[in-house]
């Protein structure tokens, strides 16, 4: 509409025949009006022509005539625009769907109504012994199992379109009139019949072919009957996947149904609907499964809904029977979504109820309040005076939260999350000192010996000045030393015990255990955590992790814990520069290592564990070590660290690296957690695509601990675009939470937590990435329910559902 704009300007400038960039206002208009757009009526064309002539003389006219001309033109232009507007797109067709339960079975058979969730499928009318066996193959034994066998996906035949709007790659349904039809045997295959229909609707025409394999379809009688059925003028509904063809979008062997008339309902259970797609097994067709479900769904109306009606109404959740029917036979997207919402809520609610109860039970047990004994000396205050730095604000806040918990007569159960290098160890140490002040003992548990030894080294730096005793217990502690240690522990002389999961073993007994700190708790399973708590005593528990896990995951797994967060790094850290390198660009990495070593810094080279196989792992680390020693850095000292080394050898390798006796350390992921060498400024990670993002972030955290600018180089295969994309997340972010969130999206919760983590909830429908809001909602409700009625006595349905779930989990655990 440049003409309208020109008019506006001309009016604003007082009709002075404005000089534009190339020509005057009047010349521009005269020229434009002489070239009218196509598609105008002859009358409109004539009026524009006369206007063009008038504008050619505009320059010579006086002000009044000029005003008149412009005023005249503007409504004309507006009308032109209205006339030329493209026609409204044709609305999609309408389709009436027959109620699937309607034909034949006006009221469901009495037998179906008596079905209970616990009725064996073999006893359901309409499910024969063969089908029952096949369903059992999918783990579906009872009616309750079958209705919870949710569709894996849906074919969207509810996408109703006109012929002109068909889109390749999507499923669609259209309603059209038969213009011509032809049924004939394939000229190339005598066993194949082809039905070819020429269809049309108000927007266009389309050729549709269906193929029928089998000799009986090529019989003249059958072909004739088809042609009769799809006679010209008949209305048909067509559903299927649209593909690209040389003649435009076309259906790929679609479903067809002749309708009795343009407004008549379709009877098909697929056409026009969202068709559920199920996980199947051999010999069990989708139709059989859908039919079996049809036999049991009517019975659901009689089942009781475990959710209290009042809660259901408040949260606008569908009744259970409706939701189960809606997930299997949705009439549209809205119903599907509402059904899914209810079922997802149930899954989260059960999960959160279990956690809320566990938390409640834990709080019921008495614990020793850890308050300083009179005359015990303020160890935490003295620690502050010997630390070379003040605690950060975040460290202070978290420590205060912990101390408040410790002073209570109920056991603390707290998770401390803090990014790599955020200074969790000092906080843990202060917490342990609180226990000592109160006349109790403390334990610090680490996932690896290397880390446990580092903790000992660090604590041994401060504890003697505070006159606190401390020792290390691992799997490789010699028997004699071990006996002495256990003795000191039980008579209370030893105040802090540091160790690996050896601490969980039975002979380990404390005189007065007050606090257990579990470092890098993600490396321990939930079961191990519980085992510790079940050691007959009720110590306070502080678990720590540097692998922040997304909130949804944290709530699902550690929903029984309180969470503290250190969200601030100690000052003076320089950010780590992260770069991706192809395997072929490895030389660049070695150049950087050499450069940094020349500056007095050190470098890690990390290799992945190959399929958890220690042997392969060993070979690759050893091989790379040899290659570096012999060919790349013959002039440097290159250390080697891997899981197969003895504890002393490991300690020696780390010690040499920490002291600078070696400048390069080749390692497996043993260095992942906790190892702290401030002079290390380069981290080279081989086969980076094999690691999870969170793990890479952890590894990266091994550098950047000193003041020097640090580098992380991710070497990758380079062929896999997806792997590359994943690694780029890491290059672009240093925020552990953001990275964890991406990791969850890209790999799913099972991978993110690793196989070691038991306790991952079994969620059939709910997604920890997409249903975060429902999870929060369920958590709030669960906490309120348990607070008002801890054992859920007045919520029988929920109580039973929880028992059932626990039973299932026990059975699953037994099978594993
Ligand atoms: P992580 O949280 O990864 O376990 P650490 O506890 O190992 O981190 O701390 C990393 C480094 O930061 C250590 O060398 C530690 O001494 C140092 N540090 C901890 N707190 C502070 C602080 N408030 N100011 C300066 N440095 C600190
Ligand atoms: Mg740590």
* Residue pLDDT, tens place only, 552-610: 777 777 777 888 889 888 887 777 899 999 988 999 999 999 999 999 999 999 988 65
Band of pLDDT at residue 755, cut at 50, 70 and 90: very low
Measured CA to CA, the distance from residue 420 to residue 416 in angstroms comes to 12
Q: Return the HEC string of 46-88.
A: HHHHHHHHHHHCHHHCCHHHHHHHHHHHHHHHHHHHHHHCCCC
> Separation of 122 CA from ligand 1 center, angstroms?
63
The ligand with the least distance to the CA atom of 422 is 1
Phi, psi of 639 (to 5 degrees): -90, 165
Q: Which of 391, 425, 446 to mutate to test the pocket of ligand 1 (most atoms within 8 A of CB)?
A: 425
Measured CA to CA, the distance from residue 1 to residue 139 in angstroms comes to 66
Measured CA to CA, the distance from residue 243 to residue 764 in angstroms comes to 32
Q: Which atom of ligand 1 is least distant from the CA of 705? A: 11
pLDDT, one tens digit per residue, over 778-792 is: 999 999 999 999 999
Measured CA to CA, the distance from residue 778 to residue 348 in angstroms comes to 6
Supply the pLDDT for residue 612: 46
Which range, of 174-183, 375-384, 745-754, averages the lowest pLDDT?
745-754
Band of pLDDT at residue 528, cut at 50, 70 and 90: low
Residues in the chain: 816
Band of pLDDT at residue 116, cut at 50, 70 and 90: confident
The set of protein residues with a Cβ atom below 6 angstroms from ligand 1 is 389, 391-392, 395, 418, 420-426, 546, 570, 676, 705
Q: Which of 570, 671, 697 to mutate to test the pocket of ligand 1 (most atoms within 8 A of CB)?
A: 570
Supply the pLDDT for residue 106: 45
Supply the pLDDT for residue 427: 96
Three-class DSSP category at 270: coil
* Nearest alpha-carbon partner for 362 in 790, 776, 789, 756: 790
> Separation of 736 CA from ligand 2 center, angstroms?
14
Contact assessment for residue 28 and residue 20, using Cβ atoms and an 8 Å cutoff: yes
> Separation of 449 CA from ligand 2 center, angstroms?
13
Three-class DSSP category at 160: strand
Supply the pLDDT for residue 46: 82
Measured CA to CA, the distance from residue 623 to residue 301 in angstroms comes to 66
Three-class DSSP category at 576: strand
The ligand with the least distance to the CA atom of 417 is 1
Measured CA to CA, the distance from residue 622 to residue 607 in angstroms comes to 10
Average pLDDT over residues 108-128: 77
Sorted by sequence, the CB contacts under 8 Å of residue 154 that are 6+ apart come out as 274, 275, 276, 277, 330, 336
The ligand with the least distance to the CA atom of 705 is 1
Q: Please compute Rg for the chain using Cα positions.
A: 37
Measured CA to CA, the distance from residue 520 to residue 524 in angstroms comes to 8
Residue with the larger pLDDT of the pair 429 and 616: 429
Tokens at 149, concatenated:
């066998």
Measured CA to CA, the distance from residue 272 to residue 261 in angstroms comes to 16
The ligand with the least distance to the CA atom of 701 is 1
> Separation of 755 CA from ligand 1 center, angstroms?
29
- Which residue's alpha carbon is nearest to atom 25 within ligand 1? 570
> Separation of 697 CA from ligand 2 center, angstroms?
14
Measured CA to CA, the distance from residue 778 to residue 763 in angstroms comes to 14
Task: Look at residue 400 and tell me whether its pLDDT is greater than 60.
Answer: yes
pLDDT, one tens digit per residue, over 272-315 is: 888 888 887 777 887 888 888 888 888 888 888 999 999 999 99
Task: Look at residue 207 and tell me whether its pLDDT is greater than 50.
Answer: yes
Measured CA to CA, the distance from residue 418 to residue 406 in angstroms comes to 20
Average pLDDT over residues 219-235: 90
Tally helices (H) and strands (E) across the chain: 27, 21
Contact assessment for residue 524 and residue 757, using Cβ atoms and an 8 Å cutoff: no
Supply the pLDDT for residue 1: 61
Tell me which H or E stretch contains 740. Answer: helix 736-753
pLDDT, one tens digit per residue, over 615-662 is: 544 457 888 899 999 999 999 999 998 888 887 888 889 889 989 999
Phi-psi region of 759 (alpha: psi -120 to 50; beta: other; left: phi over 0): left
The ligand with the least distance to the CA atom of 416 is 1
Task: Look at residue 158 and tell me whether its pLDDT is greater than 50.
Answer: yes
> Separation of 49 CA from ligand 2 center, angstroms?
83
Supply the pLDDT for residue 100: 59
**Whole-number mean pLDDT of the chain?**
85
Q: Which atom of ligand 1 is least distant from the CA of 392? A: 23
> Separation of 534 CA from ligand 2 center, angstroms?
25
- Which residue's alpha carbon is nearest to atom 20 within ligand 1? 423
> Separation of 518 CA from ligand 1 center, angstroms?
17
pLDDT, one tens digit per residue, over 659-673 is: 999 999 999 877 655
Task: Look at residue 759 and tell me whether its pLDDT is greater than 80.
Answer: no
């Amino acid at each position: 509409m440049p003409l309208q704009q020109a008019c506006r300007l001309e009016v604003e400038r007082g009709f002075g025949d404005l000089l534009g960039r190339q020509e005057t206002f009047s010349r521009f208009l005269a020229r434009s009006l002489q070239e009218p757009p196509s598609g105008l009526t002859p009358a409109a064309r004539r009026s524009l022509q006369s206007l063009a002539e008038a504008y050619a003389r505009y320059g010579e006219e006086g002000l009044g005539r000029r005003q008149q001309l412009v005023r005249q033109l503007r409504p004309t232009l507006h009308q032109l625009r209205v006339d030329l507007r493209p026609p409204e797109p044709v609305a999609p067709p309408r389709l009436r769907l027959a109620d699937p339960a309607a034909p034949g079975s006006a009221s469901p058979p009495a037998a179906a109504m008596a079905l209970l969730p616990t009725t064996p499928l073999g006893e359901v009318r309409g499910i024969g012994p063969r089908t029952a066996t096949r369903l059992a193959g999918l783990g579906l034994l009872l009616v309750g199992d079958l209705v919870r066998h949710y569709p894996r996906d849906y074919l969207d035949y509810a996408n109703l379109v006109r012929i002109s709007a068909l889109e390749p790659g999507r499923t669609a349904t259209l309603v059209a009139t038969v213009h011509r039809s032809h049924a004939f045997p394939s000229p190339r295959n005598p066993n194949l019949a082809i039905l070819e229909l020429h269809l049309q609707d108000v927007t266009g025409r389309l050729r549709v072919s269906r193929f029928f394999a089998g000799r009986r379809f090529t019989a003249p009688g059958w072909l004739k009957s088809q042609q009769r059925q799809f006679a010209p003028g008949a209305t048909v509904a067509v559903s299927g996947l649209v593909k690209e063809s040389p003649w435009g979008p076309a259906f790929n062997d679609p479903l067809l149904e002749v309708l009795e008339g343009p407004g008549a309902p379709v009877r098909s259970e697929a056409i026009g609907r969202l068709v559920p797609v199920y996980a199947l097994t051999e010999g069990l067709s989708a139709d059989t499964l859908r039919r079996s479900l049809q036999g049991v769904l009517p019975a659901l109306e009689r089942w009781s809904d475990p959710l209290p009606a009042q809660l259901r109404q408040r949260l606008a959740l569908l009744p259970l029977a409706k939701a189960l029917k809606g997930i299997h036979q949705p009439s549209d997207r809205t119903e599907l979504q509402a059904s899914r919402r209810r079922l997802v809520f149930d899954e989260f609610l059960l999960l959160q109820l279990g956690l809320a109860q566990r938390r409640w039970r834990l709080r019921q047990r008495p614990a020793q309040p850890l308050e300083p004994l009179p005359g015990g000396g303020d160890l935490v205050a003295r620690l502050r005076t010997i630390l070379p730095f003040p605690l950060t604000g975040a460290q202070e806040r978290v420590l205060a939260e912990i101390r408040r918990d410790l002073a209570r007569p109920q056991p603390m159960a707290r998770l401390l999350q803090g990014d790599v290098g955020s200074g969790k160890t000092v906080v843990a140490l202060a917490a342990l000192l609180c226990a000592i002040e109160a006349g109790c003992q403390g334990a610090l548990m680490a996932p690896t010996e290397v880390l446990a030894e580092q903790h000992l080294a660090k604590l041994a730096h401060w504890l003697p000045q505070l006159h606190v005793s401390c020792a290390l217990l691992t799997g490789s502690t010699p028997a004699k030393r071990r006996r002495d240690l256990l003795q000191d522990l039980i008579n209370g002389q030893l105040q802090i015990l540091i160790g690996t999961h050896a601490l969980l073993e039975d002979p380990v007994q404390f005189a007065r255990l007050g606090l257990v700190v579990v470092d890098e708790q993600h490396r321990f399973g939930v079961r191990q955590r519980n085992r510790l708590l079940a050691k007959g005593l009720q110590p306070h528990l502080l678990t720590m992790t540097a692998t922040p896990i997304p909130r949804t995951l944290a709530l699902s797994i550690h929903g029984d814990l309180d969470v503290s967060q250190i969200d601030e790094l100690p000052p003076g850290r320089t950010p780590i520069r992260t770069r991706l390198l192809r395997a072929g660009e490895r030389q660049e990495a070695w150049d950087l290592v050499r450069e940094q070593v020349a500056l007095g810094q050190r470098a890690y080279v990390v290799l992945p564990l190959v399929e958890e196989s220690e042997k392969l792992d060993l070979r690759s680390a050893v091989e790379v070590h040899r290659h570096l020693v012999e060919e790349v850095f013959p002039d440097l000292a290159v250390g080697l660290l891997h899981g197969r080394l003895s504890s002393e050898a490991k300690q020696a390798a780390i010690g040499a690296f920490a002291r600078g006796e070696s400048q390069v350390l080749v390692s497996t992921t043993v260095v992942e957690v906790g190892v702290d060498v401030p002079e290390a400024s380069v981290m080279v990670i081989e086969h980076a695509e094999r690691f999870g993002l969170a793990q890479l972030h952890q590894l990266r955290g091994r550098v950047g601990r000193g003041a020097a600018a640090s580098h992380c180089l991710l070497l990758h295969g380079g062929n896999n675009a997806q792997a590359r994309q994943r690694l780029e997340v890491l290059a672009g972010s240093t925020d552990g939470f953001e990275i964890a969130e991406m990791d969850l999206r890209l790999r799913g919760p099972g991978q993110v937590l690793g196989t070691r983590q038991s306790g991952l909830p079994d969620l059939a429908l709910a997604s920890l990435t997409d249903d975060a809001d429902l999870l929060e909602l369920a958590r709030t409700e669960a906490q309120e329910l348990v607070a008002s009625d801890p054992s859920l006595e007045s919520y029988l349905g929920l109580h039973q559902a929880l028992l059932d779930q626990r039973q299932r989990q026990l059975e699953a655990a037994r099978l594993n």
